[in-house]
Amino acid sequence: MSIEKLEYFYMIARFNSLSQASKELHVSISSLSSSLKSLEQEIGTDLFERHGKKIILSTHGKAILPSVELILAEAKKLNISLNESVDYPSLRVGTSDASFIFEANKYQSRHQNFTIDYRYIPSLDLLNKLSQKEIDFAITSATLDHPKFIQTRLATLELKVAISSYFVKPDGILSAEVLEELPFIFLLDHVEHQVITKKVVKQLTNEPKYIVCPDSLGATKMITEGKGMLLANTFAQELLAIEPVCFVSLPTFPTIHFYLYKNSESENFYFYPEVEKEIQAIFNQTCHTTQMMGSADTGTYYLPKR
């Protein structure tokens, strides 16, 4: 149980609001919600009662609040930072790939000495957050150039095109006309996705067409409605494995590299090997799951070579 989780709980209780606590702590609502859920699981009971968007302290929450206030007061006397644990730390891993967080939250961590808090951070902010030690690790497909950063390659994943099955012929071929006319979607706040999309598409068509989408939910809607197609890595392929989406293997078999970056000045350097091992396991598990799903579930098709 970390000081950070108790601080988050205290601020939520103080305002009876996730959004207000988020503003005060300069932490995303999703991170607060995830931290609260983790704390409730550790204690074994709900600490708040949810009434629509409103939350109020439960009976158990009211019972532990005085003890939490006492712990935080003592922690301040000892100059214990929010991210330093009472008995084990909460390590913060930021990534701009929301589909990875979806998979990571399904993974059952077995570590006894620390917890991992996965946070969505727009790719343009990752460098700054890591250099300022607001996160301990960053997962990205971009190359981050900073003298304090340590880079480890996690995986190389194949990219496929997620597209409505409406455009695929009965013989499993996607016509060249569709490739020329249907725009490729790239995500507005995901710089790495924009870069890799433009790089791959230029190899496939002489007159590439693009359409910008604000988030992955909107991209899914565009695909299912036949308004565009999306380059998807292994994580996104499992997330998008719904009707009528299928996946097209490109003739160039493009790939994307994912890296784990760490700030060498982080106080949690000791835990680096174990965190790397856990994140690597998530990559391996997801890749294995996707392979097991096979073409019967997602569909695997090939474009004719140019």
Give the torsion sign (CA, 240, 241, 245, 247). positive
Taking 90 as the threshold, does the pLDDT of residue 183 lie above it?
yes
The answer to whether 236 and 96 are in contact (CB under 8 A) is no
Q: How far apart are CA 196 and CA 148, in angstroms?
A: 26
The lowest-confidence range among 97-101, 152-156, 183-187, 288-292 is 288-292
At residue 289, the pLDDT reads: 53
Taking 60 as the threshold, does the pLDDT of residue 297 lie above it?
no
DSSP-based three-state secondary structure for 243 = coil
140 — pLDDT class (breaks 50, 70, 90) = very high
pLDDT tens readout for residues 246-258 = 888 887 788 899 9
- Give counts: helices (H), strands (E), the chain: 11, 13
At residue 185, the pLDDT reads: 92
Which of the 8 DSSP states describes residue 47? S
Higher pLDDT, 93 or 170: 93
| Domains of the chain as residue ranges with CATH | 3-82 (1.10.10.10), 90-156+256-291 (3.40.190.10), 158-254+293-300 (3.40.190.10)
